[in-house]
Amino acid sequence: MRTIRTAGIIAKRKKPAEALEVIERLIGWLKARRITPLIETDLAEHLHTVEAHAKAELPGKSDILIVLGGDGTLLSVARLIKNSDVAILGVNLGGLGFLTSVSLPELFPALETILAGNFSIDRRMMLNARVYREGRLLAEYTVLNDVVVNKSVLARIISLEVTVDGAYLTTFQADGLIISTPTGSTAYSLSAGGPIIYPSLDSILLTPICPHTLTNRPLIMPEESMLKVVLRSGDRDVFLTMDGQEGIPFLENDAVEVGRSDYTVSLIRSPFKNHFEVLRTKLKWGER
């Protein structure tokens, strides 16, 4: 990793005020080490003496991104990275996250370790999703966690025709379908009965949501697979959601093609806990 001269700071968008005290301390800490802090414009009204940029510009202008918030905040940042190789340090302002695994008390010790060069980076694969309506490209997304097709609360079971690399797999009769990365295996897929996949593995996970046929089980596909999902039922209360944060209506005969993205996200590992410690803590393994 190159020498750190600039550090972008992004805070939880809904409640940035919660992070202001931390950010002010962080700015002073960075300046004392001759590192230029950069903040997103949403914070500029509170912090007038710091260089501000649009959130989408920060990855390209920073040697490191410090994300203060939770996993949702980090997911929104991950979708901005694209062809930037900037490393992200995720800091959870509350408890502990799967992606934001550094706690607030660990922030400055973690940064000291990073500046000393004693850290590791996880390169996480992402997915690319192309949505088609009547044969025309409607939208395109890059996601870190998952692409989800699901129905609203009152909708009937939906029919989802799935092919893998052009070969017909099956038509799921279910409440929906989750296509996720290994990173996303501990998100919605986990609650739907999917397996936990070690995040550095490269694979694509297909998890049906409450399938009508109980033998429809989660499938782990090779990373180079191209999945196509077509809605074959006429229910209009179906949505396609990306990382649980962006979504569009998914209509009858709409199709989404999902495959590995050309982009990856570089996450700085916590110097103080490994992935299994995070799993044990988050999932409360071993507790009675």
Q: What residues are annotated to the active site?
A: 71
Angle at which helix 17-32 crosses helix 107-115, to 10 degrees, equals 30
What CA–CA distance (Å, rounded) separates 126 from 262?
Answer: 8
Alpha helix stretches (DSSP H) within the chain:
17-32, 58-61, 71-81, 107-115, 188-191, 275-283
Residue 125 exposed, middle or buried by CB count within 10 Å (0-12, 13-18, 19+): buried
How many other β-carbons are positioned within 10 Å of the β-carbon of residue 138?
A: 16
Q: Which amino acid is at 229?
A: V
Length of the chain: 288
Are 254 and 133 in contact by the 8 Å Cβ rule? The answer is: yes
DSSP 187: T
What CA–CA distance (Å, rounded) separates 163 from 258?
Answer: 11
Are 65 and 58 in contact by the 8 Å Cβ rule? The answer is: yes
Helix (H, G, I), strand (E, B) or coil at 64: strand
> Under 8 Å CB-to-CB from 124, ≥6 apart: which residues?
78, 144, 181, 182, 183, 199, 200, 264, 265, 266, 267
Helix (H, G, I), strand (E, B) or coil at 54: coil
Q: What are phi and psi of 218, to 5 degrees?
A: -60, 145
